[in-house]
Amino acid sequence: TQQVAVKRPQLHFTAKKNWINDPNGLFFDGEQYHLYFQHNPHGVGHGFMSWGHAVSTDLVNWEELPIAILHGDMADIFSGSIVVDHENTSGFGDGTVAPVVAIYTAAAKDETNQSQAIAYSLDGGITFTKYEQNPVLDRGSKDFRDPKVIRYESEQGSFWVMVAVEAIDRRVMIYRSENLKDWTELSSFGPQAAVAGIWECPDLFQLPVAGTDQLKWVLIVSLNPGGVAGGSGTQYFIGEFNGTTFTPDETQETWDSFGYESLKQGDWLDWGRDFYAGVSFHGLPLDEQTLIAWMSNWDYARDLPHDGWRGSMSAARRLDLVKDSNGKFDIRQRILGLPKADVASSKANAGENRIELGSPALVELTFATSPIEPAVLSLFRADDTLISELTVESELIQHRREAGKVDHELYASNQRMPLPVGSDELDVKVLVDHGSIEILAAGGRRSLTDQLTGEAALAYATLRVATGANASFKVQELFDNALES
Ligand code: FRU
């Protein structure tokens, strides 16, 4: 693909140059959020995978730092996680600071083996030393990857728990360690629910149930292809983890099928095309659990137009759980770090309402009752090119328009998302930035994330509704607060 002028997003992390994919090693050190990411230091394609690094205090403005963990001659550094080893269980500490320990997949370049390796940092996550006795966990597998390590705390004591995938088997492997070096297999989960693609990038964490003091365990599983919107997607399971085994509240059949119609009964963290490999931060309290995903899709990630840099992260999402009227849990997402500004709110008129806005911007639609006839929000560039069209009815449909700049048959598509039934008021929050749209509906219980090509600088929107009385909209222009343009 050729190089074209791509406008950088303002509220989303992009690397200064070259390729990025999954977020890795997310952690909060008490002052700063650390985002590591799959990065090719040498080009705009996937290769020479290393961990890039950026830090932020607000999850919006990111400062990119030097590469944290560089690929080797024989192996790439694939996805993984970071923990701060406060009790120095690993022995990597020098008695003054808690070691920051990265657990990643060493992926043999000749594709004969993937095993888990560790590296430690004594300067707060800036530079890492690879452990001399790597790998620490080798199953002799070619597709064993993406270790996410958490601290499991119980009355019987605390220990490290790792979830990682046997990708081809559609299994999440669960391991335990006292010191991050020696790992014992506890159990495995899967295959279950969507299995048409391989499983990648698992995460296991607790979430509070809003309005109660209940906590539930959540297992996140990315899969590719076989996602609900096509290609890469992310499903989740809610249940219990007892320190050994994850047991979902509902055991599900496996779905070998592709596509929205067969997969819409499932639990999807996002219903769009571009929300993959999402993982949560280590080091945040349970009521501040936060997740970032890679805002792309393996269907076309390698073919998107680029401007010397390629790929971006989603906005950071704060997560909790809510119970619906049938007693089923939904993950609820809230976008974090948006600048606060006064917003004007107006009632919509029947027919067409014109809304002036630029990007980035946040548009909030509120319907007193779910619209019976479709409400349509259309986003335009200054030259009147239609970029995206959003239809809200019993389900929400995001039509990705103006896909001509992306020379890929899989790029132009419509994404659909069922809305929760039986809810009276319906709110739809739409965050647009250069190159993306993130839609959170029904109080954040439904999420749909799509790239809109990097050219898509927005100028205005129209909202068409059948009856005005039912609908209102708010617009918040978000500051152009990029560190560099
Ligand atoms: C997910 C993934 C991971 C792997 C990494 C390699 O997007 O395929 O399974 O560790 O990307 O870059």
Look up 256 and say whether it is catalytic.
Answer: no
Token readout for 195 is 């299995």
- Calculate the alpha carbon distances from 224 to 106, 167, 197, 227, 311 in Å: 20, 10, 5, 7, 17
Query: Which three-class secondary structure state does DSSP give residue 415?
Result: strand
d(CA 62, CA 131): 29
pTM, entire model:
0.96
Place of tokens 């019993």: 394
Burial class (CB in 10 A: 0-12, 13-18, 19+), 44: buried
Q: Which residue's CA is minimally distant from atom 6 of ligand 1?
A: 78
Q: What is the DSSP letter of 348?
A: P
d(CA 115, CA 146): 9
Dist. CA 80 → ligand 1 center (Å): 9
Q: Which residue's CA is minimally distant from atom 8 of ligand 1?
A: 200
CB 173 within 8 A of CB 146: no
d(CA 337, CA 60): 6
Residue 337, phi-psi category: left (phi > 0), alpha (psi -120 to 50), beta (remainder): left
Determine whether the shortest distance from the Cβ of 76 to ligand 1 is under 6 A: no
CB 146 within 8 A of CB 165: yes
Give the nearest ligand 1 atom to 107 CA.
10
Burial class (CB in 10 A: 0-12, 13-18, 19+), 262: middle
Bridge-based pairing of strands 157-166 and 171-177 is antiparallel
CB 254 within 8 A of CB 191: yes
d(CA 164, CA 420): 32
Dist. CA 424 → ligand 1 center (Å): 40
Active-site choice (22, 76, 85, 299): 22
CB 286 within 8 A of CB 273: no
CB 424 within 8 A of CB 402: no
Ligand 1, from 116, 146, 220: best to mutate by most atoms within 8 Å of Cβ? 146
Dist. CA 403 → ligand 1 center (Å): 26
Place of tokens 């500490």: 93
CB 42 within 8 A of CB 17: no
Token readout for 47 is 């290769």
d(CA 180, CA 161): 9
d(CA 127, CA 31): 18
Q: List per-residue pLDDT tens for the chain, 485 residues long.
A: 668 888 889 899 999 999 999 999 999 999 999 999 999 999 999 999 999 999 999 999 999 999 999 999 999 999 999 999 999 999 999 999 999 999 999 999 999 999 999 999 999 999 999 999 999 999 999 999 999 999 999 998 999 999 999 999 999 999 999 999 999 999 999 999 999 999 999 999 999 999 999 999 999 999 999 999 999 999 999 999 999 999 999 999 999 999 999 999 999 999 999 999 999 999 999 999 999 999 999 999 998 889 999 999 999 999 999 998 788 899 999 999 887 676 778 899 999 999 988 888 899 999 987 777 889 999 998 889 888 999 998 899 999 876 555 667 778 788 999 998 766 789 999 999 988 999 999 999 999 999 987 665 788 999 999 887 688 898 887 765 433 33
Token readout for 226 is 């076989």
Determine whether the shortest distance from the Cβ of 143 to ligand 1 is under 6 A: no
d(CA 345, CA 412): 33
Dist. CA 476 → ligand 1 center (Å): 35
- Stated as kind and residue range, the H or E segment containing 263 is helix 260-263
